[in-house]
């Protein structure tokens, strides 16, 4: 097949845009607060009621859900790209790995591109070789549950005392603030050190879950679920059940973490298990809502703009990093706001994403990062093609 652009699915673009927006709800805390605050609202001692409620609501409705949604859509994208051939896919994912390395070291330590590229390189062959969608769905579920199982085991074998990553002292917090605000070579070196820990987490635990979600997303695409092949009523009914079941699984765990004052072993490992189990269900529930009401949603102008954000997902993800690192590190707003106050920045960044995507696509067919990614992929794939292949 030639390198012409594959036909786009409007619903997929829209839900990809929603996933990019949803990820920022959690990332804003990672930009504006110390790393320990991402999962532990009690990193400085008992939080205020306002901060605790902000954490609880985000944990219930956003934490891990939009990342799971994005991983499902990434797997669906791999399924759609199979027709381009192995050279294209390997080159595309290899460049994503390099983009992730640059993003993680030069800009921000919360990068997800590297993990997606690495796990994608492992998963695309499994997707290609699967004979039917049911095989992808079953294998994806098994891999995901393996990752959850590893998390459970880590909870039982971990030491009882928290490390600096969960309960940092004054010196550690001050040092983190210094290198983040100072930037430059020192910050690059520190992010490179953090990257080694991130790669270890990917290899030991998170990579299993990510691979499972990608395979499951590919299975949903191959089965027609992510192509909108079912009736709106079916999607709406599935949304109700999926979201309801996920809440039943997760709500007791959130309440128990609060009751236990976010103790390290429980909140850092064991009580993350219900969240991890519920995240794919809730992500699919959100997707099912969009598909179930697409006939109505597709008439809204904001949905068209969201689809444009989804078409430029990589550019918009990087734009969020540039905006937030500028605000919190260059303008020294880091550690100046609590969790709830930080959420006030989110609509402003969303607006920047919407305006940037709309204006850019008025003149170009792809986002700037997407164009660069595709151009580099095309060149690498052409160079790797056998000489007798035309």
Residues 292-307: tens digit of each pLDDT: 999 999 999 999 999 9
When pLDDT is averaged across residues 119-148 and rounded to a whole number, the result is: 97
pLDDT attached to residue 4:
40
Q: Counting every residue, how long is the chain? A: 390
Please tell me the total count of domains within the chain: 1
The pLDDT of residue 7 is above 90: no
pLDDT recorded at residue 163: 73
Indicate whether 390 belongs to any domain: no
Q: Which residues pair with 45 in a beta bridge?
A: 43
Which residues fall within 8 angstroms of residue 86, CB to CB, at 6 or more apart?
A: 128
Tokens of 58: 């985000």
Percentage above 70 pLDDT, the chain? 96
pLDDT at 291 over 80: yes
349 phi/psi in degrees, rounded to 5 = -70, -40
**Would you state the pLDDT for residue 59?**
96
Q: What is the pLDDT of residue 8?
A: 66
What domain range includes position 223?
Answer: 10-383
Residue 344 forms part of a structural domain: yes
Mean pLDDT of 55-74: 97
Q: Is residue 1 part of a domain?
A: no
Alpha carbons 138 and 288: distance in angstroms, whole number: 20
Judged against a pLDDT cut of 50, whether residue 2 lies above it is answered with no
**Is 388 a member of any domain?**
no
């Amino acid at each position: 097949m030639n390198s012409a652009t594959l036909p786009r699915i409007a619903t997929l673009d829209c839900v990809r845009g929603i996933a990019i927006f949803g990820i920022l709800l959690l990332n804003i805390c990672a930009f504006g607060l110390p790393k320990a605050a991402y999962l532990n609202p009690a990193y400085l001692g008992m939080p205020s009621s306002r901060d605790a409620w902000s954490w609880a609501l985000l944990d219930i409705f956003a934490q891990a859900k939009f990342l799971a949604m994005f991983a499902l859509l990434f797997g669906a994208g791999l399924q759609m790209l199979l027709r381009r051939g192995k050279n294209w896919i390997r080159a595309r994912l290899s460049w994503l790995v390099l983009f992730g390395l640059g993003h993680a070291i030069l800009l921000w330590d919360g990068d997800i591109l590297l993990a997606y590229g690495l796990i994608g390189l492992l998963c695309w062959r499994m997707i290609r070789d699967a004979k039917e969608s049911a095989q992808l769905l079953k294998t994806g579920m098994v891999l995901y549950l393996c990752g959850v199982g590893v998390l459970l085991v880590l909870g039982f074998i971990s030491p009882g005392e928290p490390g600096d990553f969960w309960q940092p002292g004054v010196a550690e917090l001050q040092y983190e603030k210094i290198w983040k605000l100072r930037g430059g070579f020192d910050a690059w070196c520190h992010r490179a050190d953090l990257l080694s820990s991130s790669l270890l987490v990917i290899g030991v635990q998170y990579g299993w879950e990510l691979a499972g979600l990608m395979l499951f997303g590919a299975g949903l695409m191959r089965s027609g679920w992510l192509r909108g092949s079912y009736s709106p009523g079916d999607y709406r009914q599935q949304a109700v059940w999926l979201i309801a079941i996920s809440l039943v699984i997760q709500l007791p765990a959130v309440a128990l973490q609060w009751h236990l004052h976010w103790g390290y072993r429980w909140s850092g490992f064991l009580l993350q298990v219900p969240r991890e189990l519920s995240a794919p269900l809730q992500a699919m529930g959100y997707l099912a809502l969009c598909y179930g009401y697409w006939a109505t949603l597709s008439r809204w102008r904001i949905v068209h703009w969201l689809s444009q954000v989804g078409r430029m997902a990589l550019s918009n993800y990087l734009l969020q990093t540039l905006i937030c690192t500028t605000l919190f590190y260059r303008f020294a707003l880091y550690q100046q706001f609590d969790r709830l106050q930080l959420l006030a920045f989110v609509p402003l960044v969303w607006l920047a994403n919407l305006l940037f995507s709309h204006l850019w696509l008025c003149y170009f067919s792809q986002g700037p990062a997407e164009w660069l990614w595709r151009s580099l992929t095309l060149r690498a794939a052409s160079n790797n093609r056998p000489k007798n292949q035309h």
